[in-house]
Amino acid sequence: MKIDPIIITSLFIYFLQTYTGNILIAVNPFQRLPHLYDSHMMAQYKGAAFGELSPHPFAVADAAYRLMINEGISQAILVSGESGAGKTESTKLLMRYLAYMGGRLASEGRSVEQKVLESNPVLEAFGNAKTVRNNNSSRFGKFVELQFDERGRISGAAIRTYLLERSRVCQLSDPERNYHCFYMLCAAPPEDIKHLKLGNPRTFHYLNQTNCYELDGIDDAKEYTATRKAMDTVGISSEEQDSIFRVIAAILHLGNIEFTKGKEYDSSMPKDEKSWFHLRTAAELFMCDEKALEDSLCRRVIVTRDETITKELDPEAAVSSRDALAKVVYSRLFDWLVDKINNSIGQDPNSKYLIGVLDIYGFESFKTNSFEQFCINLTNEKLQQHFNQHVFKMEQEEYTREEINWSYIEFIDNQDVLDLIEKKPGGIIALLDEACMFPRSTHDTFAQKLYQTFKNHKRFSKPKLARSDFTICHYAGDVTYQTELFLEKNKDYVIAEHQALLSASKCSFASSLFPVSNEETSKQSKFSSIGSRFKQQLQALLETLSATEPHYIRCVKPNNLLKPHIFENQNVLQQLRCGGVLEAIRISCAGYPTKRPFYEFVDRFGVLAPEALDGSTDEVAVCKKLLEKVGLEGYQIGKTKVFLRAGQMAVLDTKRTEILGKSASIIQRKIRSYMARKSFILFRRSTILIQSVCRGELARHDYETKRREASCLRIQRDLRMYIARKVYKEKRASALSVQTGMRGMAARNELRFRRQTKAAILIQSHCRKFLAHSKYVKLKKATITTQSAWRGRVARKELRSLKMAARETGALQAAKNKLEKQVEELTWRLQLEKRMRTDLEEAKTQENTKLRTAVQELQLQLKEAKDTLVKEREAAKTAAETIPVIQEVPVVDHELTEKLNAENAELKDLVSSLKTKIIETEKKYEETYKLSEERLKQAMEAESMIVKLKTTMHSLEERIADMESENKIQWQSLLTNKGVPPQSPDLASKVLENGNHANESITLNDLLLTPEKGFETPDNKPRRPPIDRQHEDVDALMECVVKDVGFSQGKPVAAFTIYKCLLHWKSFEAERTSVFDRLVQMIGSAIEDQDSNDHMAYWLSNTSTLLFLLQKSMKPAGTAGTASVRKPQPTSLFGRMTMGFRSSPSTVNFGAASAALETVKQVEAKYPALLFNQQLIAYVEKMYGIIRDNLKKELGSLLALCIQAPRTSKGSVLRSGRSFGKESHTNHWQGIIDCLNTLLTTLKENFVPPVLVQKIFTQTFQYVNVQLFNSLLLRRECCTFSNGEYVKSGLAELELWCCQAKDEYAGSAWDELKHIRQAVGFLVIHQKYRISYDEIINDLCPVLSVQQLYRICTLYWDDNYNTRSVSSEVISSMRVLMTEDSNNAVSNSFLLDDNSSIPFSIDELSNSIEVKDFLDVKPAIDLLENPYFHFLHE
Ranges assigned E (strand) in 371-510: 460-461, 469-474, 477-482
> For strand 594-597 and strand 641-644, is the pairing parallel, antiparallel, or unpaired?
antiparallel
- Classify 1307 in phi/psi space as left (phi over 0), alpha (psi -120 to 50) or beta: left
Within 10 Å of residue 343's Cβ, how many Cβ atoms? 11
Closest CA to 352 of 42, 97, 102: 102
d(CA 1111, CA 1162) in angstroms, rounded, equals 9
* Helix pair angle (530-546, 428-437), 10° resolution: 150
Helix (H) or strand (E) holding 561: none
Nearest Cα residue to 505 out of 495, 516, 494, 519:
516
Q: CA-to-CA distance for 104 and 107, rounded, in angstroms?
A: 10
Nearest of 652, 550, 638 to residue 595 by alpha carbon: 638
Q: Are 1072 and 957 contacting, i.e. CB atoms less than 8 angstroms apart?
A: yes
Report the candidate in 29, 157, 13 with the shortest Cα–Cα distance to residue 89: 29
Q: Is 444 helix (H, G, I), strand (E, B) or coil?
A: helix
Question: Position 1364: which residue type?
Answer: R
What does each C-alpha distance from 812 to 59, 808, 954, 981, 1074 come to in angstroms?
A: 103, 7, 12, 33, 19
DSSP state of 1004: H
* Contact (CB, 8 A) for 228 and 192: no
Let me know: does 1311 contact 1285? Beta carbons within 8 Å: no
Residues identified as active-site: 83-84, 88, 134, 137-138, 362, 364
Q: Smallest Cα–Cα separation from 972: which of 1028, 1022, 1030, 1032? A: 1022
The C-alpha angle with vertex 262 and arms to 261 and 265, in degrees rounded to 5, equals: 90
Distance CA 409, CA 396 (A): 8
Packed helices 290-298 and 273-286: angle between N→C axes, nearest 10 degrees = 110
Burial of 1293 (0-12, 13-18, 19+ CB in 10 A): middle
Count CB neighbours of 140 within 10 A.
Answer: 19
- Measured between alpha carbons, how far is residue 1434 from residues 270, 872, 1029, 1152, 1381 in Å? 87, 98, 21, 24, 69
Measured CA distances, 444 to 127, 424, 489, 490, 532 (Å): 32, 22, 15, 15, 21
Work out whether strand 75-80 and strand 353-359 pair parallel, antiparallel, or are unpaired: parallel
Provide the 3-class DSSP secondary structure of residue 637.
strand
Long-range residue pairs from 1122-1131, CB within 8 A, at least 24 positions apart, any chain: 1122/1151, 1123/1148, 1123/1149, 1123/1150, 1123/1151, 1126/1401, 1129/1177
CB atoms within 10 A of CB 1301: 20
Q: How far apart are CA 52 and CA 1171, in angstroms?
A: 85
Closest CA relative to residue 1284, chosen from 1340, 1329, 1313, 1323: 1323
Nearest to 140 by CA among 398, 343, 376: 376
* 1220-1258 burial code (b ≥16 CB/10 A, e <16): beebbeebbbebbbebbeebbebbeebbbbbbbbbbbbb
Answer whether 587's CB lies under 8 Å from 112's CB.
no
